[in-house]
Amino acid sequence: MLNERSKKLFIEAKKVIPGGVNSPVRAFKSVGGDPIFIKKAKGAYLFDEDNNKYIDYISSWGPLILGHAHESVIEAINQQSHKGTSYGIPTELETKMAELVVELAPNVDKVRFVNSGTEACMSAVRLARGFTGKDKIIKFSGCYHGHADPFLIEAGSGASTFGMPNSPGVTKSSAKDTLLAEYNNIDQVMQLFEKNKNEIAAIILEPVAGNMGCVLPKQNFISELKKICLSNDSLLIFDEVMTGFRLALGGAQELLSIDADLITYGKVIGGGLPVGAFGGRSEIMDFLAPDGPVYQAGTLSGNPIAMSAGFAMLTYLQQNPNVFASLNEKTTYLSKGVEERLKNSELPFQINQLGSMMSLHFTNDPVIDFTSAKKGDNDYFKRYFHAMLANGVYLPPSAYESYFLNDAISYEDLDHTLDALSDSLSFIERK
Ligand code: KE4
């Protein structure tokens, strides 16, 4: 594939944008080569500036669960934009969107909208600290909750892709209030509570992790976390920025049948526009300003364009719940097809999948946490990524990401993807 125009655009971009991108993972640093620049997208397909077509397996890192430019979302944005884009004044639309989230999200009485998943997670942690009067939080290595200081302590997405577990600029004082445990390791969590009695405000985790590849919680892991939180007057925060409205209409809380105290959302909730949210029981949410003492704010929070896109997205999912079954079936078809092809190769591999989240790891060991995820052969991964890209398949450009299928992907697209893998195997295996 010719990428001359993308190469030129990348050179231009780097002159005025750090690294040429507005989010590090897009720069292809962990897979090598230069990023492609996208001109447009529709349904399951991306079209780059050199008119190459790709089947999209990142769906804007999750939001576009129905595929690009879905008519219901575009129509809602069109209609709202003629009424103005932002007022900074309450609107009925925000209430309607909040009512819909409260209806769809289990165990959420009230919700506050923000503009990103980072903001949602950052605000939820501040609220948990304010509500409990405690300072420390526990997070898990390999889980990513955005780029706020308390989380860049061995983050599992972009930061770990660069092997920069602790980002410069994160102060020692903020780092001391973030305790780390290995995902799926309940003993480490218990030890942290022993050592930090009455100091831990919350545990925050991805209930199904997607930032070390897709990693599933072990049986009882999360129910044990909930018990520990209850017995220590700490809060359990589910970061559902990735899983919310993707794994099920009620997200991981529904799928895993377990309630968290605070839940954060992003990605799908905005239908492709910048929306984050955090919600929970009224007794906790009422601690937020202006009624409560915990401050949190945002100029464009709840802006009508983003609300209209999110409302259209969630309404469509509510009225077409078969989307989730369809996505799960397509993802299972893909993961089984990949397994079929790789088991006849020399390559070590593990495939993790839950619903429409999946990841492929070039390692013999089960991937159950960040330590095991890091054992994956990144050289194989790089060759795999570029071989698939050359075959018109755009995968996440990092071994520490999950595939995000969208429901516009057809079985023909899935077969093309599997054929591309077959074509790529000799290239991937080359030492
Ligand atoms: P944003 O601030 O990027 O909207 O959300 C942060 C975030 C929070 N929680 C989870 C579980 C997340 O996955 C994310 C962001 N996900 C990454 C992809 N793994 C976004 C891609 C990027 O950083 O460009």
pLDDT tens track for 350-375: 999 999 999 999 999 999 999 999 99
- Residue 349: pLDDT over 50: yes
Average pLDDT over all residues of the chain: 95
Which residue ranges make up each domain of the chain? 4-68+321-429, 71-319
List, by residue number, the catalytic residues: 144, 239, 267
What's the 145 CA to ligand 1 centre distance in angstroms? Answer: 7
pLDDT tens-digit readout, 173-215: 778 889 999 999 999 999 999 999 999 999 999 999 999 999 9
Q: Which residues, in sequence order, are bridge partners of residue 354? A: 357
**For residue 250, pLDDT beyond 80:** yes
Residue 37: strand pairing partners = none
Which numeric CATH code is attached to 71-319?
3.40.640.10
Question: Residue 158 has what pLDDT?
Answer: 47
State the pLDDT at residue 429: 81
Strands 200-205 and 178-182: unpaired
Phi and psi, residue 210, nearest 5°: -130, 5
Cβ of 63 less than 6 Å from ligand 1? no
Residue 369: CB within 6 Å of ligand 1?
Answer: no
Output the pLDDT for position 157: 52
What backbone torsions phi and psi does residue 43 show, to the nearest 5 degrees?
Answer: 60, -125
Q: Say if residue 391's pLDDT is above 80.
A: yes
- DSSP lists the bridge partners of residue 45 as 42, 55
Residue 137 zone, left/alpha/beta (φ > 0; ψ -120 to 50; rest): beta
Class of domain 4-68+321-429: alpha beta
Distance 146 CA to ligand 1 centre (A): 5
Asked if residue 401 has its Cβ within 6 Å of ligand 1, the reply is: yes
**Pocket lining: 418 vs ligand 1, CB cutoff 6 Å:** no
Asked whether 206 lines ligand 1 (CB < 6 A), one says yes
- Of all atoms in ligand 1, which is nearest to the CA of residue 26? 24
Task: Label residues 323-336 b or e (16+ Cβ within 10 Å = b).
Answer: bbeebbebbebbbe
Q: Dihedral of CA 6/17/21/113: which sign?
A: negative
Q: Tell me which residue of 71, 17, 19, 63 sits closest to 43, measured CA to CA.
A: 71
Closest atom of ligand 1 relative to the 243 alpha carbon: 11
Residues 92, 93, 96, 98, Cα dihedral to 10°:
-110
Spatial contact of 306 and 314, defined as CB atoms under 8 Å apart: no
What is the DSSP secondary structure assignment for residue 273, as one 8-state letter? B
- Positive or negative: CA dihedral 63, 107, 120, 174: negative
* The pair of three-digit structure tokens given for residue 245, joined into one six-digit string: 């409205």
Alpha helices in 257-352 (DSSP H): 282-285, 304-319, 322-343
